[in-house]
């Protein structure tokens, strides 16, 4: 692998790596820093990548390790939003044959998000795209913070079930 190939790798994978990091539970304002760290580490270890076609899984492994380390340090710095979600997502990402991080998975998640009721989409968006906490979301709705957390838990379960069902139906 030549250093000149690195630009191609960055251009091809930077968006997906950012999305992957965010999906693992990183705080929205930490995603760019963590993605940059992924590519710095990748550049330093570029000789370890034997096949450029394997850059995606290799970069995701680096990102997974960085987010895992951030989750361990999260009591000192808040770069991970939801450590329980991060633990679940890291567990999924560790499955060797997991299709969880393929483009098809993201497409299925998008379809499943559209199937949620409007208030569910608003809560999920507020929490995971905008990085708002349960108290902030409760202030915007007629819910208590505890009710927001319970609703988010229910919607995460619905999303997971929907994505899994779509994969089973597609044979993936």
- Fold for domain 1-95? Rna Polymerase Sigma Factor; Chain: A (1.10.1740)
Half-sphere exposure of 13 (CA within 13 A, CB side): 28
pLDDT at 38 over 50: yes
Are 27 and 78 in contact by the 8 Å Cβ rule? The answer is: yes
Encode burial over 83-92: b for 16+ CB neighbours within 10 A, e otherwise: eebbeebbee
Q: Which pLDDT tens digit goes with each residue over 9-29?
A: 999 898 889 988 888 878 778
Between 73 and 75, the more confident residue is 73
Encode burial over 28-65: b for 16+ CB neighbours within 10 A, e otherwise: eebbeebbebbbeebeeebeebeeeeebbebbbebbbe
pLDDT at res. 74: 60
Between 117 and 84, the more confident residue is 117
Domain parsing of the chain, residue ranges: 1-95, 102-172
| Class level of CATH domain 102-172 | mainly alpha
């Amino acid at each position: 692998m030549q250093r000149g190939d690195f630009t191609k790798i960055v251009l091809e994978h930077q968006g997906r790596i950012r999305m992957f990091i965010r999906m693992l539970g990183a705080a929205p304002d930490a995603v760019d820093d963590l993605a940059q760290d992924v590519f710095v580490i990748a550049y330093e270890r570029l000789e370890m990548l034997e096949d450029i076609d394997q850059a995606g899984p290799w970069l995701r492994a680096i990102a997974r390790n960085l987010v895992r380390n951030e989750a361990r340090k999260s009591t000192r710095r808040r770069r991970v939003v939801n450590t329980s979600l991060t633990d679940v997502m890291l567990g999924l990402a560790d499955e060797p044959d997991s299709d969880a991080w393929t483009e098809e998975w993201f497409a299925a998640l998008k379809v499943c998000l559209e199937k949620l009721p409007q208030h569910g989409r608003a809560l999920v968006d507020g929490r995971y795209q905008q990085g708002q906490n349960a108290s902030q979301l409760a202030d915007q709705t007629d819910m208590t913070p505890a009710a927001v957390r319970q609703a988010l838990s229910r919607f995460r379960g619905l999303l997971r079930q929907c994505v899994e069902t779509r994969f089973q139906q597609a044979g993936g």
